Structure 1
């Protein structure tokens, strides 16, 4: 079980489903959401400021990340997160790409990012959650 998870998706129904499935599976005690990559980066920027101020923070251990979103898509988020100080400050954060795409090129591209653990197809299920192992 995780303490905190961040779900990044532009679809409200997908976010609601993620929250329900994660809660039902008792996979995480806290679930935060962002509607696109830009919001997710702002989320981490706020965590970074709190950490720099030596405040107690609870950072997500896992991100479920959609790829196709407006404003900033999942690839753009991964590019910025992996090449910025976010990855240095939050090295324990892992990402699972949760997407409706089945393009093998996307799956291969996701493997290029060190924080990406897996690439799973939507919708999220309890069985998927049971198969996730971060160790």
Structure 2
């Protein structure tokens, strides 16, 4: 099975990040999972201006970002807009999926209108949702 080079979790809820990380590890779809607590930290990571662990001397560009909506400092909407303005080498071929507890149908509609957002999933991430994400955006990476 091919693995994603990296997955970035952007969520201020430490428990949610822990659960998502454990699920991703169990699925075996990547060896590198980075977590940030808000959109600004994520931008710092993507632009190499933060203090993050380097893999083989480089900051691995995530192939998948799981993005929360409601966070302090910079929320998911603000991050999506800022991400769209990044240089191509900072964005890579990244797929962003909103992972949110929001029950507001307007949020799903708003996410669909943003070019940077490719998908919308409810929290908490489940193995079924993770498999759906992998099959839709990364066919050939999962058995």
Shorter chain as denominator, the TM-score bin is 0.7 to 0.9
Q: How is 1:1-135 mapped onto 2 (pairs within 5 angstroms)?
A: 1-46=3-48, 57-82=59-84, 84-86=85-87, 88-89=88-89, 90-132=91-133, 133-135=136-138
Listed as ranges, the gaps of 5+ residues in structure 1 are 48-54
Listed as ranges, the gaps of 5+ residues in structure 2 are 50-56, 139-143
Q: Paired residues, what number?
A: 126
SS in structure 2 of the partner of residue 110 of structure 1: helix
Displaced runs of 4 or more, over 3 A: none
What is the TM-score with the length of structure 2 in the denominator?
A: 0.81
Bigger strand fraction? 1
Match in the other structure for 1:50: none
1:23, 1:111 → 2: CA distance?
28
What is the TM-score with the length of structure 1 in the denominator?
A: 0.86
* Aligned residues: CA RMSD: 1.6
Match in the other structure for 2:54: none
State the Cα distance separating 1:91 from its structure 2 match. Answer: 4.1
